[in-house]
A = this chain, B = another copy of it.
Amino acid sequence: MPQRDLDRTDRQILAHLQNNARLSNKELAARLGVAPSTALERTRRLEREGVLAGYHAEVDLAARGTPLQALVSVSLRRHQRPLVEAFQAHALALPEVVQVFHTTGQSDFLVHVAVRNPEHLRQLALEAFTDRDEVARIETALLFDHRRAVASGED
């Protein structure tokens, strides 16, 4: 991976686009105090390098019909690479899954899910996790709230 140090302008571009990915290049340039051609070239470079890895809309999960969120900790029975990879792919393909963390520690995965109601959660826990051969045990915690940090660009 080609690593280089990002300067202040780069970091500001990242921060602005983290907070609003639909900023126009013109507006972005104005906020940075640089010419639009400069902002565009910087942004394209960050995309090329993979530093800007994607742009995603944030959807209100409740409005979408899945108001109940949970974190499911999953411990696998054995640690063999095909099992670990298969589990992760399986989890990511479920429509209820929002994100998947592969962790060290007591459990192997932490799966963030959004469901319609408690019965949907129960069914998901049993069918998508407990029933799988590679899963030793799961532990489910409900989510009261989930917030992303706001980027400042001044670290």
Does B100 lie within 8 Å of A149, measured CB to CB?
yes
A127 to chain B, nearest CB (A): 15
Option from B11, B58, B101 in Cβ contact (under 8 Å) with A54: B58
Stoichiometry, copies per complex: 2
Question: Contacts A141-B103, A149-B100 hold; do A55 and B54 have CB atoms under 8 A apart?
Answer: no
Interface residues of A (CB under 8 A from B): 1, 3, 5-6, 11, 14, 17-22, 49-60, 62-65, 71, 88, 92, 94-95, 97-106, 110, 112, 139, 141-152, 155
A5 to chain B, nearest CB (A): 8
For A139, what are the chain B residues with a Cβ–Cβ distance below 8 Å? 105
For A21, what are the chain B residues with a Cβ–Cβ distance below 8 Å? 21-22, 55-57
